[in-house]
C-alpha cells in the first residue's frame, strides 16, 4: 500500500494535476546576487533587485512605460532599410539572426521610438534594447536614431536616447560604422535649434554608440553600476598589460572622473529627466516637485 497515494495525495491533487500548466516564470533570479524575486514584485520594482539593488536590463516597452507619464505613449514606425546588403554569413546567415532576434523581442530592430508626455512636456524618446543582437548599431538602428531626432525637430520637443549596446553590428561592416558620423549630424541640428538632448547610459553602453551620439548629450545620466566605455575592460587590460582600477568603466567611477554628469537610480529616473527638461527649456516654474 502506498500511503502517499492513499492519504496525502487528495490534499495536493489539484497541484499535481495542474503542474504541467503552471507558469515557469513566476520567479526571477537576480543576475547579480541570485536572489529569487516574485515576478509581480520585480515588475513593481522596475527590475531592480531589492536585495543588492542591481539594475537588470529592460525591454524597450518597459523603458517607455517607466519614463513616460502614466506609461502613456505611442510608438513610431521605424524606417525600413536594406536587409543583409553584404550577404553576410558567419556560423549562420545574417537574415536568420535577424529573424531570431525579431521573434525573441517582437521588434524590427534594436532601436525603437516613442512619443508622449514626460513631466507634462511632449518628448521623443529613443530606446535601444540589448536583447536584440546586443543592441548593436546597424543601419536600422542608425536610421531610427536619425528619425527620432528629426521627429523632435518637427515637434520642437526634447529628445532623449536610452543607450544600451555592445558595439557596431559586424554583419553590416562599413555600413554600420557609417552610422557614427550620420547620427552626430542630427545631434548638431538639435543643438542648433536649442532643444534638450539627454542621454541615459545603461548597462552596457560600449563601442560605436559611445563613440557617437552616446557621448554628445547636453546631460549624461547613467544607471548605477552600468558598464560604459568604448572597448571593454578586458580588452584594455590585455592591451596595456596592466591591472585596471576597481570599478573601472562603471558608472560611479566615470562620475568620479568627470565623464558623466550624474548617476541616477532607476526609480528616480523619470522625475530627474522631467526636472532636467524643464530646466533646459527654461520652464522651471512647472517642473515636478522633487519632494513628490
Among the residue ranges 20-29, 36-45, 249-258, the one predicted with the least confidence is 20-29
Up-side HSE of residue 70: CA atoms within 13 Å toward CB? 6
Helices 60-67 and 269-280 cross at an angle (nearest 10°) of 60
Residue 189 CB neighbours (<10 A) = 15
**Taking residues 7-19, what's their average pLDDT?**
47
- State residue 16's pLDDT score: 42
Tens of pLDDT, residues 43-64? 899 999 999 999 999 999 999 9
pLDDT band, very low/low/confident/very high, at 292 (cuts 50, 70, 90): very low
Using one digit for the tens of pLDDT, what is the confidence trace for 100-117? 999 999 999 999 999 999
pTM above 0.85, yes or no: yes
What local confidence, expressed as pLDDT, does residue 24 receive?
60
Q: What is the pLDDT of residues 267-287, one digit of tens each?
A: 999 999 999 999 999 875 555
Query: DSSP state, 218?
Result: S
The overall average pLDDT reported for the chain is 90
Q: How many CB atoms lie within 10 A of CB 204?
A: 23
Tell me the C-alpha distance between 124 and 218, whole Å.
15
Amino acid at each position: 500500500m502506498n500511503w502517499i497515494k492513499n492519504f496525502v495525495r487528495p490534499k495536493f491533487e489539484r497541484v499535481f494535476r495542474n503542474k504541467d500548466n503552471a507558469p515557469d516564470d513566476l520567479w526571477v533570479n537576480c543576475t547579480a546576487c541570485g536572489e529569487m524575486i516574485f515576478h509581480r514584485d520585480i515588475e513593481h520594482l522596475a527590475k531592480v533587485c531589492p536585495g543588492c539593488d542591481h539594475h537588470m536590463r529592460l525591454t524597450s516597452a518597459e523603458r517607455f512605460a517607466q519614463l513616460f507619464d502614466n506609461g502613456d505613449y505611442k510608438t513610431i514606425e521605424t524606417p525600413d532599410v536594406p536587409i543583409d546588403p553584404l550577404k553576410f554569413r558567419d556560423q549562420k546567415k545574417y537574415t536568420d539572426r535577424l529573424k531570431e532576434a525579431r521573434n525573441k523581442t517582437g521588434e524590427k530592430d534594436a532601436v525603437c521610438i516613442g512619443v508622449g508626455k514626460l513631466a507634462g512636456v511632449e518628448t521623443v524618446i529613443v530606446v535601444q534594447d540589448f536583447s536584440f543582437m546586443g543592441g548593436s548599431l546597424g543601419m536600422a538602428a542608425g536610421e531610427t536614431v536619425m528619425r527620432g531626432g528629426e521627429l523632435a525637430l518637427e515637434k520642437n520637443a526634447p529628445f532623449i536616447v536610452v543607450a544600451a549596446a555592445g558595439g557596431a553590428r559586424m554583419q553590416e561592416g562599413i555600413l554600420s560604422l557609417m552610422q557614427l558620423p550620420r547620427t552626430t549630424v542630427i545631434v548638431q541640428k538639435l543643438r542648433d535649434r536649442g532643444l534638450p538632448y539627454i542621454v541615459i547610459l545603461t548597462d552596457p553602453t560600449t563601442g560605436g554608440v559611445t563613440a557617437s551620439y552616446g557621448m554628445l548629450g547636453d546631460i549624461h545620466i547613467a544607471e548605477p553600476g552600468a558598464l560604459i566605455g568604448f572597448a571593454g575592460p578586458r580588452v584594455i587590460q590585455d592591451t596595456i598589460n596592466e591591472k585596471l582600477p576597481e570599478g573601472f568603466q562603471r558608472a560611479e567611477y566615470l562620475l568620479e572622473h568627470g565623464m558623466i554628469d550624474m548617476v541616477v537610480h532607476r526609480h528616480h529616473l523619470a522625475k530627474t529627466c522631467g526636472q532636467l527638461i524643464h530646466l533646459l527649456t527654461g520652464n522651471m516654474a512647472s517642473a515636478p516637485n522633487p519632494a513628490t
